[in-house]
Amino acid sequence: MKVKFLKDYVGHPKDTVIDLPDEQARPLLDSQAAEAVAAPPAELEEAVAAIQKSMNEQLEAAVQKITGRVIEQVSQGLKNVRPSLSGQVGSGDLVVGADRAELDPTGGFRNLGDFAQAVRKHFAYKATDERIKRMVTKADGMDESVLADGGALVPTEYADQLYRDVLQESVLFEKARKYPINLGNSLFIPVRNMTELGKTAAAGGSLGAWLNGDGVAITPQKPVYSRVQMTLNRWGTILPVTDELLADNNVALGNFIFDEGGIALAWDLNDAFINGTGVGQPQGILNSTALVTAPADANQPAGTINYDNLVNMKARLWTPRPGDMTGVVWIANPDAEAQFEQLKDAAGRNLYYAAGTIQQSPQARLFGLPVVYSYHCPQVGNAGDIILADLGQYFVSTKAAGGIETAMSMHLYFDAAEVAYRIIYRVDGKVARTAVLQVPNSVNTRSGFVELAARGVLS
């Protein structure tokens, strides 16, 4: 019998409706604690059951449809689709987030050593590692289907760290003007073809003119531009690493790769930016046709550097914006520092401050400008042992978003129980101008790059 409680009764709140056996319901009715409730017609119960069944079937069908769509899209490798921030999906479309494993710049590895150990196990012992499978690549000219011919790409995070180490080692690269190459391996950069300061028009003279009255027509002038072609050159190295280092200490392995790879590339970049021939490598400052040579003093002792030398160099420097020395640095052979320490002006004031002398300027400074020491500069006393350079007028091109290409293989030096890291970098560098600049009312030419003439070297 179905009853409805007329008051709270033994755990049943008022108005509660429940089914009870007749022998339990009658005492409640006699005590007026509850009243009988008429049962709904059988047709109504059947209708309610039918509606409930239909709703369950529709809900089950909807779940199966959505699940099927998720499986279909995931199996097709749906990438880079982010879920709606509001959590709502419009037009019946299903939005699936990207595979986060593909976006992890570390590739799921704790450090470079962890990656190297995983490569070794994957290739040597055929130990399945899903992280390595995503990074397997073929060696040049080899068949990708042959695992022994392949290597594994170093994860982006660790390749970028190596790139950052290179930047720290190569001050010349850091301060140069960058022009990334997006497509292909070549880029043309337009520059003003000005051989005499102020003469920027094709017909000579300035692009502008003074108008001496109302209605005076402006004479059209055509600017003259030339272009610098940047073509990427390939630099590469192979670093062998012993199995012992690989197996015993993955942290030390990472430090080794970063140190050796970064220092090697930075060394060669600095050398190319100073001495490069421009054939198969960047064009160096000392091989530029725009280089100005400041004269030494007459009868100056061999291997010496004096105050007048540096003043003469500064007098020949040209920057696009007069007085703007933002990108200007001294580049000198380290042996020159001993003589810089002794340089004083006419009033006896020091001209050189070694690194750390001034707290606000940890880099060494000469005449207030930063000093970069490089063993790639010629021996003290030879032309080019000291260079005054506006690195904003030196162009560097690299592959856009390419950075350093790094890969690892354990097969190259298999018989020596060593693995090999291969590092490839594509870069070009050139001086922006192709000629020295004539200056009005002066017999001296100027340039963004000035070297000190030879004075003879000490034996």
Q: What is the pLDDT of residue 423?
A: 80
Q: What is the CA radius of gyration of the chain?
A: 39
Token output for 97: 């987030």
At residue 104 the predicted structure's pLDDT band, cuts being 50, 70 and 90, is low
What pLDDT is attached to residue 32? 78
Return the pLDDT at 85.
44
How does residue 92 score in pLDDT terms, banded at 50, 70 and 90? Answer: very low
239 has which bridge partners? 421
Round to whole Å and give the CA distance between 260 and 213. Answer: 69
Residues 6+ apart with CB under 8 A from 207: 200, 201, 221, 223
Q: Could you tell me the two tokens for 4?
A: 């409805």
Q: Would you say how long the chain is, in residues?
A: 459
Query: Can you give the pLDDT at residue 227?
Result: 80
Mean pLDDT of 376-389: 96
Task: Give residue 429's pLDDT.
Answer: 92
pLDDT at 271: 93
- Amino acid (1-letter code) at residue 5: F
Q: What average pLDDT does range 118-136 have in this prediction?
A: 69
| Full 3-state SS string of the chain | CEEEECCCECCECCCCEEECCHHHHHHHHHCCCEEECCCCCHHHHHHHHHHHHHHHHHHHHHHHHHHHHHHHHHHCCCCCCCCCCCCCCCCCCCCCCCCHHHHCCCCCCCCHHHHHHHHHHHHHCCCCCHHHHCCEEECCCCCCCCHHHEEEECCHHHHHHHHHHHHHHCHHHHHCEECCECCCCEEEEEEECCCECCCCECCCCCCCCCCCCCCCCCCCCCECEEEEEEECEEEEEEEEEEHHHHHHCHHHHHHHHHHHHHHHHHHHHHHHHHHCECCCCCECHHHCCCCEEECCCCCCCCCCCCHHHHHHHHHCECCCCCCCCCCEEEEECHHHHHHHCCCECCCCCECEECCCCECCECCCEECCEEEEECCCCCCECECCCEEEEEHHHEEEEEECCCCCEEEEECCCCHHHCEEEEEEEEEEEEEECCCCCEECCCCCCCEECEEEECCCCCCC
As a whole number, the mean pLDDT across the chain is: 77
Give the residue-averaged pLDDT of 179-188. 84
Report pLDDT for 300: 92
The token duo for 81 is 């689709």
Which residues touch 380 (CB under 8 Å, ≥6 apart)? 303, 305, 333, 335, 336, 339, 457, 458
Q: Is the pLDDT of residue 145 over 50?
A: no
pLDDT of residue 141: 40
In this structure, of 44-48, 230-234, 379-383, 413-417, the range with the lowest mean pLDDT score is 413-417
At residue 94, the pLDDT reads 46
CA end-to-end distance (rounded Å), the chain = 122
Domain residue ranges in the chain: 2-68, 168-207+222-240+263-459
pLDDT for residue 78: 42
Are the beta carbons of 392 and 326 closer than 8 angstroms? yes
Residue bearing the bigger pLDDT, 267 or 223: 267
Q: Tens of pLDDT along 311-352?
A: 999 999 999 888 889 889 999 999 999 999 999 888 888 899
Please report the pLDDT score of residue 148 as a whole number. 41
Cβ neighbourhood burial of 216 (10 Å; 0-12, 13-18, 19+): exposed
Contacts of 151 (CB under 8 A, 6+ apart): 119, 136, 137, 138, 139, 407, 408, 409, 422
